[in-house]
Structure 1
Amino acid sequence: MMLKKVIAQAAVACAGMMLAGAALAAQPTAAKPETVSGGRYGPVTVTKPSGPLRGFVVLFSRERGWGAADQQAADALAKAGAMTVGVDSERYAANLAAKQETCHHLDGDAEAVSHQLERLAQSARYYTPIVAGVGQGGAIAKQILSMAPENTIAGVVSVQPAAKLDARFKPCPPDPTIVRRAMPGFVETAAAGDTAKLVSLVTSHLHDTSSSDELDVSDLPLVELPAKGGSDRLAIVISGDGGWRDLDKTIAEALQRDGVSVVGIDSLRYFWSEKPPAQVSRDLARVMRTYMARWHANRVALVGYSFGADVMPFAYNRLPADLRDRVAVMSLLGFAPAADFQIRVTGWLGMPASDKAMKVAPEIAKVPPSLVQCFYGAEEQDTMCPALANTGADVIKTGATITSATTTSRSRRRFSARSASRWRRVERRRPLRGGRGACGSSDGRPAGRPFSRFPFRLRRGVLPRRRRSRIALIEAGKPVELPPRGGEIGIGTQHRA
């Protein structure tokens, strides 16, 4: 008996040593730092994790430039799973001072470098950048978040921020056309601390790669906009390739005000890696079932803008029959003849679809024409909408653009009438089966008004006037310089001429 006990104790001790050794062997490490071009940042120091990527951090140095303490923080963040871009704050300020600009949009530089380096790293998903720093670097990080539109910067970590931002940064005043209810990301500040404090605060916001629940939609980049007071109508909006911002966000908020609950799918993040049409449809089905049950909706509108419009027919045609029956209307805006299923730099530049793009004509032909609304502008050329005329689809031609302030009364009447009719027809159908709750009938919640307006521009590839900074992108190792041109989308960031 004593021998068995000794053997058991030895086995336990040995197993413990083996597990400890395995844990040490599996501990993430940081790859050797490398220096690459960072656009207006100048040369930046990139430190990558050797294991799974959990996030992307733009780390700004202290006042005197990139030093040993900054690299120590970058190494620690990389070991925690963050690709870390080290920016020499002094060099960045000098580069900006040399430019003939009245003010500088600092947030676009951080977002652009995240697009560039995550694409080169062939990341399976897109991580919105966290900006961080100590001292002057902390002040820069706070300034960036204060300027950033929603869904562009994940958050800020600022340790012992400098009391005053270096005057050479000359941040631009807030854009009066952007209304924000709060900061567009988390804010972590510490009045005292050092490298360890910064690393601790950043690490708490990195993605947890160990958690994956296939029964919910937490793995999808969704934006929830439930209607006030509830609604039995649900709109699922797939954004353009710039992500959930500007037009897509404005469309969704207008629908929400009209009493329609909205779930937005951020294309920039969802299609960062290639998704086959079948997977897109499966994920759309998950979103439909989840939110129809959660918000007690029984009628669904599928809305796609630009990139999102192009992929929508593929997703709809592969839905289960019971979910297709729940779709009241499919509205396509900026609908092109070919669909890409991965975000590409060429798309941001307004260039033609890639060689991998799939023709949409065979797919839209399978969609019942009575479901389809196709909006396009008079100046739009790369559009499928005219081809749908005389098919039974609702094809609406507007002026050059549709803005949030004005829409043609004809377009508004047609959209509202068609939507109301489709809502009523779907409402009479049998309850949906297979979801997480009864979704087939209204539970007394207010139905609200039918869709009445779409506040957005229609010209494909054109955004409202935002900021544009001269920044370089790299795809397949080739830099692309973007000259300032007012009003046109370039790389997925907002711009101002």
Structure 2
Amino acid sequence: MKRWTGIMIFLLLVKQLSAQEKLPLKEQFTSTDKPFIFLVSGDGGVKGFTASLCSAMHDKGYSIASLDAHAYFWNKKTPEQTASDITNYLTTALRSRADHHWVMIGYSFGADITPFVVNRLPDSLKSQLADVILLSPSTSTDFEIHLSDMLGIGKKRSMDVVAEINRLGNQRTTILFGEDESGFPISQVKLAKYHSDVIKGGHHFDGNSQAVAEKITDIINNK
């Protein structure tokens, strides 16, 4: 009996490690005492603006792991599964760091799913989460990549992003938009520790990743 119990535990560990290994991440690490950044990309993946933003944050001295949303959410996930996968990764990533504080950033599709993930993280990780930063979120999601959304002809999905943002409680949260964007009901966000701001440009901030990186750095530094 003990032998079979041991085998089952081993197989569960292998399954957990296998799932973690399959998490499609781009990692850019450096020796730093700044908070660790975990970023979830837009539906196009970690390329273009997202890749440039990650490099800009790394150049500012941050270690950053970027989840490729296109690859990960190509097959539909649940908020619980996503939170579990990210928890497994962060538990390992933060363990070797002297400072366990971290920041979660979501861009576009990544911003839509971020509040659902944060609300399902274990208290041990949430207590170390310094900031949630949402770049150009929309009002709904369903944890799956849709070609229609990528072509700009998407429709309303089943999960309410604004309602989930409002469940973040006392979590310090910032929402950033391009000044040319409209349609997100900012006035409906009712968090105690909440701030919104705009940056020149549209949904891709005119490709100015440096300006976005500067704003994110200011947020992290409480400016």
Same fold (TM over 0.5): yes
Q: 2:147 aligns with which of 345, 351, 361?
A: 345
Shift of 1:246: 0.9
1:367 and 2:168 matched: yes
What is the rounded CA distance, in whole Å, between the counterparts of 1:266 and 1:329 in structure 2?
20
Instruction: Map 1:203-214 onto structure 2 (within 5 A).
Output: 213-214=15-16
Indicate the structure with greater helix content: 2
1:223-266, CA deviations, whole angstroms, 9 ceiling, x for partnerless residues?
A: 11002x34452100100001110111111111111111001100
What is the rounded CA distance, in whole Å, between the counterparts of 2:96 and 2:208 in structure 1?
30
What is the rounded CA distance, in whole Å, between the counterparts of 2:209 and 2:168 in structure 1?
32
1:275 and 2:63 matched: no
Instruction: Map 1:100-249 onto structure 2 (within 5 A).
Output: 213-215=15-17, 217-227=20-30, 229-249=31-51
Q: Which has the higher contact order (CA 8 A, sep 6+)?
A: 2
1:201-231, CA deviations, whole angstroms, 9 ceiling, x for partnerless residues?
A: xxxxxxxxxxx5413621211111002x344
The alignment partner of 2:92 has SS state of: helix
What is the rounded CA distance, in whole Å, between the counterparts of 1:392 and 1:405 in structure 2?
25
Q: 1:407 aligns with which of 211, 216, 221?
A: 211
What is the rounded CA distance, in whole Å, between the counterparts of 1:299 and 1:390 in structure 2?
21
Scaled by the length of structure 2, what TM-score is found?
0.82
Shift of 1:315: 0.2
Shift of 1:418: 3.6
1:150-197, CA deviations, whole angstroms, 9 ceiling, x for partnerless residues?
A: xxxxxxxxxxxxxxxxxxxxxxxxxxxxxxxxxxxxxxxxxxxxxxxx
Shift of 1:378: 2.2
1:70-96, CA deviations, whole angstroms, 9 ceiling, x for partnerless residues?
A: xxxxxxxxxxxxxxxxxxxxxxxxxxx
Structure 1 gaps, min length 5? 1-211, 422-451, 453-497
What is the rounded CA distance, in whole Å, between the counterparts of 1:405 and 1:272 in structure 2?
25
Larger radius of gyration: 1
Letter in 2 for 1:307: F
What is the rounded CA distance, in whole Å, between the counterparts of 1:270 and 1:393 in structure 2?
29
1:285 and 2:102 matched: no
Scaled by the length of structure 1, what TM-score is found?
0.39
The alignment partner of 1:237 has SS state of: strand
Q: Is the 8 A contact 1:337 1:383 kept in 2?
A: yes
1:259 and 2:68 matched: no
Shift of 1:294: 4.0
Structure 2 gaps, min length 5? 1-13
What is the rounded CA distance, in whole Å, between the counterparts of 1:384 and 1:418 in structure 2?
22
Q: 1:315 aligns with which of 110, 117, 129?
A: 117
Letter in 2 for 1:419: I
The alignment partner of 1:268 has SS state of: helix
Shift of 1:384: 4.5
1:42-100, CA deviations, whole angstroms, 9 ceiling, x for partnerless residues?
A: xxxxxxxxxxxxxxxxxxxxxxxxxxxxxxxxxxxxxxxxxxxxxxxxxxxxxxxxxxx
